[in-house]
Chains A and B, each alone.
Chain A
């Protein structure tokens, strides 16, 4: 193609790098968005689930006859009535490493967590659904519940899945390199056990779906809030035993997902099956108490870690035993391996680790199952690595920033002990800028004067361009990675571009349009993104793992380039010149390079492509469309950041308040700074939530503590501080857009930075806290004991 064509270099430009106003806003700020619950179809029925009230039990009775008699109830179905195929998520690993388990769509014979769906009630309105659910009779023979790591791993433990040999569903020793024992024999050894509480990703819009059967298309239409519509289609087709063409999945506006919606929910399948049986539209909207107790959860992990350092602060070995409590079932398609495998492979983070040994296990328990949640394990292992750095710094008399400086990777590309190759980043630069911000603003001076103020850092990288090669290493049998895009120009020179990724707050309609506008040289107003419809897009992996702009955006950029080439071929023919002698003019047209006065607008070219195709050159096909697929090769791309935090503890209550939060991040080329800032701040808010507030705990019988927002503490504007975001830009070499992902970093960095800051102020007390959320009681106890001791010594 024409070498003179304005080449997108990934840096700057008219549209790339501009904080253009979001194109999704006009409908969303005026209440004209369309979320799943806003969909109303003629003749629509409503659905709800009879859910388990015990954590572990045999179903001895399931009588839906009274439910069926309730005024307004149309049908009630058990697993037996629906006869659906189970969901099975697999890893291609030997039986000693991975035990596959099945997740039935409705519980059969046994329930494994409080909130597990047992039966489906369909009624004329949602109130009658509730009446029907209340009338359903369920009896149980209660079994001992597995709610702790100790119970799960005990010799005589009750089995959550009786066909599995134990409650350990995944057990891998991913690395055991030479040199570990030697390093521990003569180094300074840091040991710690860290724990993080079970959290709910908690999108403000709960899960939900509207399913309808269309006799004309012989097709099931499922409108659902899912981050992965194509995978929902696959599971629907398999579970209902119908061809994929008989299922269309459409995702309307989505009120957040954060990973909770990137797995297939059993409820979506059951509702679709009911709609097909009844030949009537059926809507299911999860209520908040269902979402809190039985929505997919995440994060409950324990790390038993040892690290060896030389006297001058060089990390020489790392050893960790990781246990992740994955709850009752393997989520589809990621399995119970999602958290432990991520942790084991990427724990060394931004540091040079010469010797590494890691064992990672997934245990099953009688708790709500887990799914990926923004950051996936990285908030936890970054917490470990950053705690190690702080503890080693204290032990060796080094400054926490200095010990990091001595250990961060500075030469790129760098292949770590974990066999992962990191692309260039700004690990050291972000750390130094983070520290400079706090020093320049006088926070160190303030800390010197006030014993209740602490400073903490976290320095980390995150793989954001997870291509299929990187996922294949994990040995999933369903391997995500590529994405596709089709672009189509119409007679008015406007383009519609599709993507297999899904927007649920990340501003795709704006940033993807910016990419196309830049690449094709059209006004932003001429570009429309369509996504989230399995009929429009041949296949897509949806939005998770910060992959949208890196992979989806690269597919979009490539498709736009191809369309540009096509426009040039036709224009050259019409201008009667060689294709090498034309190029996009950046303003909606193609010019002849040796005579810029000779120009054809896209409208003029489109007129020929559609309405006078007899004028087209031989090598061009009628219409203006192009498609592209994109995958990130190798180990992918790594965004990085440093978070620098100042906290103050209230000596009277133990409450921790964040006084200053600075984020220095590098996600490569920034397409829209305002959007990236928003991703960082929102992510940090969720990270702070994990550090200080949110946790689903379970009673001994497996009853969850969080059934409402009274028990589950979501931080509000009063708890989340203003956050500054500084950008460093190390362009990505592997992606078409030069961008790396930006969705998860905030959530990854916050828990470690906050925990370090709290421990900084607690250091004088002799107590260090190694778990999240950090409870005020624990902070208060440490402060009070220290103050008492001080008073005692003073007296």
Chain B
């Protein structure tokens, strides 16, 4: 049960050599072995989405994947979006729209939104709401989270249109 194996994980563009048990989840390894605690543990059964990260660009529940399964994948966590001094546009929008209160679920929503907007740059409000419904927030009542993502999408596509012109 406790036989460990050596794996290499690519997290936020950096390679980490790690000795892990096959039963360790990607969530636990990211938090406790890689030391990136921004990805949070909410339910460990794939419902709340607090542990959402991007694996090869797709939003994934880090609690439902074993670390050994993530070898060779490009993993992105909330720490890669921006820093407290320089948060990215989505992070700024969450703050501007009061899209967080206790902030515990926030990294999961940010990574979900980041992955979603990459795939669907111009979603309708209803589409945003539907996507957001895969994660749980207990503080905000969701409205301001939807507002923040909507505002980011508008800004990003606006920028792109400017670039095309």
Contact = CB atoms under 8 A, between A and B. Distances in A.
Interface in A714-755: 714, 716-720, 722-723
B159 interface: no
Nearest to A285: B41
A32 B133 contact: no
Contacts of A506: 101
A24 B103 contact: yes
B41 A32 contact: no
B95 interface: yes
B38 to A, nearest CB: 2
A71 interface: yes
A206 B42 CA distance: 7
Contact of B139 (A32, A33, A256): A256
Interface in B75-99: 77-79, 81-85, 87, 91-92, 94-96, 98
A710 B101 CA distance: 25
Contact of B84 (A27, A38, A127): A27
B44 interface: yes
A578 interface: no
A709 B129 contact: no
Most chain B CB inside 10 Å of its own CB: which residue of A26, A258, A504? A26
Interface SS, B side: loop
A675 interface: yes
A29 interface: yes
Contacts of B41: 37, 285
A682 B140 CA distance: 4
Interface in A680-697: 681-682, 684-686
A287 B82 CA distance: 29
Contact of A675 (B24, B78, B98): B98
A30 interface: yes
B37 interface: yes
Contacts of A205: 40, 42, 102, 104
A90 interface: no
A677 interface: yes
B161 interface: no
Interface stretch (B54-62, B66-74, B105-113): B105-113
Contacts of A30: 38, 78-79, 81-84, 87, 91
B9 interface: no
Given A29-B110, A126-B28, A255-B40, A681 B143 contact: yes
B23 interface: yes
Nearest to B45: A708
A230 B76 CA distance: 39
B11 interface: no
B106 A29 contact: yes
A714 B136 contact: yes
Contacts of B142: 685, 716-717, 720
A288 interface: yes
B36 interface: yes
A718 B95 contact: no
Contacts of A708: 43, 45, 47
B158 interface: no
A719 B134 CA distance: 12
Nearest to A708: B45
B39 A717 contact: no
Most chain B CB inside 10 Å of its own CB: which residue of A28, A205, A256? A28
Contacts of A127: 21, 23-24
A678 interface: yes
Contacts of A699: none
Given A717-B145, A720-B142, A31 B37 contact: yes
Nearest to A288: B43
Contacts of B145: 717
Nearest to A19: B98
A709 B48 contact: yes
Nearest to B41: A37
Nearest to B130: A718
A678 B140 CA distance: 6
A40 interface: yes
A71 to B, nearest CB: 6
Interface in A253-278: 253-256, 258
A204 interface: yes
Given A255-B40, A709-B45, A717-B132, A685 B103 contact: no
Nearest to B144: A678
Contacts of B85: 26
Nearest to A38: B37
A286 to B, nearest CB: 10
B147 to A, nearest CB: 9
A643 to B, nearest CB: 13
A685 B138 CA distance: 8
A708 B137 CA distance: 16
B165 interface: no
A681 B45 contact: no
B146 interface: yes
A37 B63 CA distance: 15
Interface in A10-41: 21-22, 24-35, 37-38, 40
Contacts of A131: 1
Contact of A204 (B38, B87, B138, B146): B138
A526 interface: no
Most chain B CB inside 10 Å of its own CB: which residue of A35, A253, A255? A255
B62 to A, nearest CB: 13
A260 B153 CA distance: 36
Contacts of A254: 102
A723 B87 contact: no
A32 B81 CA distance: 12
A31 B38 contact: yes
Nearest to B147: A722
Contact of B136 (A22, A25, A204): A204
Most chain A CB inside 10 Å of its own CB: which residue of B42, B81, B130? B42
Most chain B CB inside 10 Å of its own CB: which residue of A29, A204, A714? A29
A657 interface: no
B26 interface: no
Nearest to B97: A674
Most chain A CB inside 10 Å of its own CB: which residue of B81, B134, B139? B139
A718 B143 contact: no
Interface string A72-86: 100000000000000
A35 B141 CA distance: 22
B165 to A, nearest CB: 31
A617 interface: no
A25 to B, nearest CB: 4
Given A255-B102, A256-B138, A716-B136, A723 B143 contact: yes
Contacts of A202: 138
Contacts of A507: 101
A678 B101 CA distance: 8
B141 A682 contact: yes
A682 B101 contact: yes
Interface of B: 1-2, 21, 23-24, 28, 31-32, 35-45, 47-48, 50, 77-79, 81-85, 87, 91-92, 94-96, 98, 100-107, 110, 129-130, 132-146
22 contacts: A25-B94, A26-B95, A29-B100, A29-B103, A30-B81, A31-B37, A31-B78, A40-B35, A71-B1, A127-B23, A202-B138, A204-B42, A204-B102, A204-B105, A205-B42, A205-B104, A255-B102, A287-B44, A681-B140, A682-B101, A685-B138, A718-B129
Given A24-B103, A30-B84, A507-B101, 19 more contacts: A22-B100, A26-B85, A26-B87, A28-B106, A29-B78, A29-B87, A29-B92, A30-B78, A31-B107, A37-B41, A38-B31, A253-B102, A255-B102, A256-B102, A256-B139, A684-B141, A708-B43, A720-B143, A722-B143
Interface of A: 21-22, 24-35, 37-38, 40, 71-72, 126-128, 131, 202-205, 253-256, 258, 285, 287-288, 504-507, 674-675, 677-678, 681-682, 684-686, 708-710, 714, 716-720, 722-723
Nearest first, the 4 A-B pairs at minimum CB distance are A31-B38, A255-B104, A28-B103, A505-B102
